[in-house]
Amino acid sequence: MPFLLLALLTFRAAAADTLLILGDSLSAGYRMSASAAWPALLNNKWQPDTNVVNASISGDTADQALARLPVLLKQHKPRWVLIELGGNDGLRGFAPADIEATLRKTIDAVKAANAQPMLMQIKLPANYGRRYNAAFSAIYPQLSEQYTIPLLPFFMEEVYLKSEWMQEDGIHPSQAAQPFIADWMAEKLAPLVKHDS
């Protein structure tokens, strides 16, 4: 009986230390197996302390991801949620105010589930115009400041520097880039994903 109780407590502790990644194709492993994508590599690196669950879907807008979020929060009961969203919204030219409103609802939902939200800065290609790009990019630091939540840098700015790390479409990271992204994200996330409380 004591052993069973200990096992249940251990299971609950492990479940509490889950990092949920809510993203799009940049995190989903576009055109590669899910096991090759950086979240899976990060999960391997962080076992057994942190369980990294990749809930990213290629092509998802922020609104589509928000619609999936309640079930994900209930199923995985994450301690932290990394929100890597907005890129598809920006590429489709959605109004920055609408993107911000959806990201705000996403952050609110994460906080309501007693999880710690973290936001990733997303940037668009320069050909979307200076005015739109400026309004889009400003969404993320504004939300980070208003909610006092971490804002992670955009890992693609590092990936763009090497042609072999990019797929032919010029948008998505290749499989060769995934180990670098996993290491880079581990370095950025390590101070935020703590197990001392």
Residue 196: count other Cβ atoms within 10 Å of its Cβ. 3
Q: Which of 49, 163, 169, 196 is catalytic?
A: 169
- The answer to whether residues 175 and 36 touch, using CB atoms and an 8 Å cutoff, is yes
Q: Which of 24, 25, 63, 76 is catalytic?
A: 25
Strands (E), the chain: 18-23, 51-54, 80-84, 116-120, 151-152
Beta-ladder partners of 166: 173
- The total of other beta-carbon atoms located within 10 Å of residue 33's CB is 9
Structure tokens belonging to residue 167: 């797929």
**Is 76 one of the annotated active-site residues of the chain?**
no
Torsion region of 129: left, alpha or beta (phi above 0 gives left; psi -120 to 50 gives alpha):
left
Residue 108 catalytic? no
35 is catalytic: no
Residues known to be catalytic = 25, 169, 172
